[in-house]
Amino acid sequence: REMGILGLVADVVSTSPRYEKALEAALGERLQHVVVESRENGLALAEYLKAYAEGRSTFLPVEALCGARNVADGYPIAGRPGILGLASEEVRCDDVLRPLVDVLLGEVVIAENLAAARAFTLGDGRGLTVVTLEGEVLRGDGSITGGTLEGPAVGALQKKREAAELQEEVSCVESTYNEILTRHYGLQKQIGQTETVLKGLSRNQHAEELNLATQEKDLHRAG
């Protein structure tokens, strides 16, 4: 946690594959914002970027966000046609980051499609932001966002999930490989032991053959 940095928003939150596109659309460029422990960390990092001309970024101090309220909690959502739930409830994160999620998604509701989103914003959901599974966004101010998602944040949650799945798959393959390798070495040891036994038997056979030849010579002389 150098300089109090916890990671990008995209690094510290996750969701199920079904809601990835919706949450990416709802968060947009904020997926690339940097989560820090405190306001002081954010100010220090802003000064650093300015001093070294290292570009521009937005910092979200977790400490300053404590006490955030999930506004959408007070709206009647259960049982509304095509309304799937609160966006914040579909996010997985560390408990310490829950206030951050409430700030970013506390007014966002997920709808199954654009028709359901429109009906909800015209009724009980007036003033809330509604995002669909396909990534359309109807904001509380009346603005509507649709079309193809673009920018560096696109697919961020999906890529992180796929990377985690691949890492798990690699770990599984490595574990299987190590098991095979252990068996291989075990079989090699067993083969070595068997070869030692065979060499011993071969020596014994040679000794017995010499003994037999001697006895045959003795028998021949005796005859």
What is the SS3 assignment for 64?
helix
Residue 24: its H or E element: helix 20-27
pLDDT: is 183 or 67 the higher one?
A: 183
What is the SS3 assignment for 148?
coil
Q: What is the pLDDT of residues 130-189, one digit of tens each?
A: 999 999 999 988 889 987 666 555 666 666 666 665 677 777 878 887 888 888 888 888
What is the SS3 assignment for 153?
coil
pLDDT value at position 207? 83
pLDDT: is 174 or 24 the higher one?
A: 24
Q: What is the pLDDT of residues 92-125, one digit of tens each?
A: 999 989 989 988 998 899 999 999 999 999 988 8
Residue 127: partners with Cβ closer than 8 Å, 6 or more residues away: 107, 140
The reply to whether the predicted model has a pTM over 0.75 is: no
pLDDT value at position 169? 72
- The answer on pLDDT for 76 being more than 80 is no
Q: Which of 155, 110, 173 is nearest to 136 (CA)?
A: 110
Q: Are 151 and 102 in contact (CB under 8 A)?
A: no
- Identify the bridge partners of residue 83 per DSSP, sorted by sequence position: 111
Q: State which amino acid sits at residue 127.
A: G
Between the alpha carbon of residue 20 and those of residues 29, 63, 132, 149, 158, the distances in Å are 14, 27, 11, 12, 6
Q: Parallel, antiparallel, or unpaired for β 83-86 and 59-61?
A: unpaired
- The answer on pLDDT for 210 being more than 70 is yes
